[in-house]
């Protein structure tokens, strides 16, 4: 008989019950069929029985016990590539023997073709390319060589085209998805969103209305909170310590990651120094703000990928700026006379006020500082304006003598503002001398405003008092 086109392999998935598995191709002997279960070759009569040997339509493999559910049962022709029939001169030539002998090469060709169908091959248009595998090497992998005409085995460390940053290496070393999300800086909100099982769960994570309900944008509270996460905090003074507390949320960015600020806040005791201005930086561990650091090192805007635009301790992306503070007598101070705690985020106006507690005099005809006790001290961020004002009663020991009052910052150089008055007789009040001045361009950090005065003759007196009466005061306001 002729041999039809056949694919000499059958695969089936067991269900735990079936024992009979058919094959639909010809085999010349029982040994020509290989039966395997999940890749393990089984033995005829020990594991299965066989029918259909020599039949062009094939037959059945009957397992002596049903394979487990999900097991893969493979039946494939696996003839030996030999010729065992030897024809004798003038001997018999049985038809069946001749047919089988002529069929055998075709069956072997089909067997080879099936094997080649599972082999790696090149498209017909390829030429001059070798698929020969190189000698195996431990922990090496295969790639095409530079000429793209052969395979080579290389170590990962030798591959110049692959470069992993420390951040990427940390990400790849994450032990599970939760750890990877932490490395990626995905917040609790983001984690809930990316792990949502369906659209409804995602809407819940986003704080949105249910499908078909009110979808007003104001309902997306959680989403807007996450989008504007960085800087949800404020630095203040509490019980003698600096305290970073959540404000309009509880997230801020440190080292390229939105980190959580504990509900109770994070505190920092004063260092053992006095009259020193510090920048205050937040430090995070595993996505949580864990401590504050006081440093005299200034800040700058980060340009590192993932942390761009964040104000950091210069040269250190692991420290994010949260404020500025100054010590007095080895203690943090934030009072109406010395507002020395300024938050970087969610700033409040800084207001300071100080007054003369007793009269002060001068006979100078050039501007001098009236009294160092009324230095109006403050901390200022770069770009802020200090609005300073002063008022007070004054009189002169000489008749018809003029009084002048102006302002100076950090010394006795007067600003371009002053008030003046002249009494009609000796020791007669010239009335309140009042004025205000917006000072711009001050460098960031500690400054003071002070009252500068002079007379054209006599001795000028500016009134002071311990009670709110006619006394000389100086006030400063920074911020909105």
Find out whether 473 and 390 touch, Cβ atoms under 8 Å: yes
* Per-residue pLDDT, 209: 47
pLDDT at residue 434 tops 50: yes
Higher pLDDT: 89 or 7? It is 7
Q: Shortest CA distance to 378 belongs to which of 458, 424, 329, 324? A: 324
Q: Shortest CA distance to 284 belongs to which of 248, 305, 310, 247? A: 310
Bridge partners, residue 63, by sequence: 48
Instruction: Please state the pTM of the whole predicted model.
Output: 0.55
Confidence band of 208 (pLDDT split at 50, 70, 90): low
Confidence band of 221 (pLDDT split at 50, 70, 90): very low
* Per-residue pLDDT, 211: 47
pLDDT at residue 232 tops 50: yes
* DSSP string computed for 341-381: EEESSSPPPEEEEEE-SS-EEE--SS-EES-GGG-EEEEE-
Q: What would the pLDDT profile of 302-358 be if each residue is shown by its tens digit?
A: 999 989 999 999 999 999 999 999 999 989 999 999 999 999 999 999 999 999 999
Find out whether 280 and 292 touch, Cβ atoms under 8 Å: yes
Confidence band of 159 (pLDDT split at 50, 70, 90): very low
pLDDT at residue 468 tops 80: no
Find out whether 33 and 50 touch, Cβ atoms under 8 Å: yes
State percent of the chain over pLDDT 70. 88
Confidence band of 168 (pLDDT split at 50, 70, 90): confident
Find out whether 394 and 461 touch, Cβ atoms under 8 Å: yes
* Per-residue pLDDT, 187: 56
Region 72-90 average pLDDT: 87
* Per-residue pLDDT, 191: 59
Q: What would the pLDDT profile of 100-154 be if each residue is shown by its tens digit?
A: 877 888 888 888 888 888 888 888 888 888 888 898 888 888 889 999 999 998 8
pLDDT at residue 78 tops 50: yes
- Rounded to whole angstroms, the Cα distance separating 474 from 352 reads 8
- Rounded to whole angstroms, the Cα distance separating 10 from 12 reads 7
The half-sphere exposure of 32 on its side-chain side, counting CA atoms within 13 A, is 23
Radius of gyration (C-alpha) of the chain in whole angstroms: 45
* Per-residue pLDDT, 245: 97
- Rounded to whole angstroms, the Cα distance separating 475 from 375 reads 10
């Amino acid at each position: 008989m002729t041999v039809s086109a056949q694919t000499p392999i059958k695969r089936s998935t067991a269900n735990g019950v079936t024992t009979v598995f058919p094959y639909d191709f010809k085999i010349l002997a029982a040994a020509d069929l290989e039966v395997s279960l999940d890749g393990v070759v089984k033995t005829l009569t020990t594991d299965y029985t066989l029918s259909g040997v020599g039949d062009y339509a094939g037959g059945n493999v009957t397992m002596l016990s049903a394979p487990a559910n999900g097991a893969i049962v493979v039946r494939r022709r696996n003839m030996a590539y030999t010729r065992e029939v030897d024809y004798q001169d003038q001997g018999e030539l049985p038809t069946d023997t001749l047919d089988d002998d002529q069929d055998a090469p075709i069956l072997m060709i089909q067997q080879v073709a099936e094997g080649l169908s599972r082999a790696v091959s090149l498209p017909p248009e390829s030429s001059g390319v070798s698929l020969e595998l190189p000698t195996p090497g431990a922990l090496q992998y295969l790639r095409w060589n530079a000429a793209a005409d052969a395979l080579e085995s290389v170590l990962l460390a030798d591959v110049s085209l692959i470069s992993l940053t420390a951040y990427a290496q940390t990400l790849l070393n994450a032990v599970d998805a939760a750890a990877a999300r932490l490395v990626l800086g995905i917040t609790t909100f983001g984690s809930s969103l990316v792990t949502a099982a369906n659209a409804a769960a995602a809407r819940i994570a986003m704080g949105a209305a249910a499908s078909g309900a009110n979808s007003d944008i104001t309902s997306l509270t959680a989403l807007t909170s996450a989008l504007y996460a960085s800087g949800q905090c404020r630095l203040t003074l509490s019980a003698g310590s600096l305290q970073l507390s959540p404000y309009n949320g509880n997230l801020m960015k440190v080292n390229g990651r939105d980190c959580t600020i504990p509900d109770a806040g994070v505190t920092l005791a004063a260092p053992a120094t006095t009259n020193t201005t510090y920048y205050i930086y937040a430090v995070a561990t595993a996505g949580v703000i864990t401590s504050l650091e006081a440093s005299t090192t200034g800040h700058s805007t980060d340009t590192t990928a993932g942390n761009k635009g964040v104000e950091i301790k210069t040269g250190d992306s692991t420290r994010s700026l949260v404020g500025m503070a100054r010590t007095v007598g080895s203690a943090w101070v934030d009072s109406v006379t010395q507002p020395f705690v300024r938050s970087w985020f969610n700033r409040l106006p800084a207001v300071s006020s100080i007054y003369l507690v007793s009269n002060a005099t001068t006979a100078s005809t050039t501007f001098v500082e009236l009294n160092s006790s009324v230095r109006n001290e403050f901390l200022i961020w770069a770009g802020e304006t200090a609005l300073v004002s002063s008022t007070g009663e004054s009189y002169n020991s000489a008749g018809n003598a003029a009084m002048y009052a102006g302002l100076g910052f950090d010394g006795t150089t007067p600003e371009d503002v002053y008030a003046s008055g002249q009494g009609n007789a000796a020791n007669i009040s010239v009335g309140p001398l009042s004025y205000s001045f917006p000072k711009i361009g001050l460098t960031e950090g500690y400054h003071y405003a002070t009252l500068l005065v002079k007379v054209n003759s006599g001795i000028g007196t500016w009134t002071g008092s311990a009670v709110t009466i006619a006394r000389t005061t100086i006030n400063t306001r920074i911020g909105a």
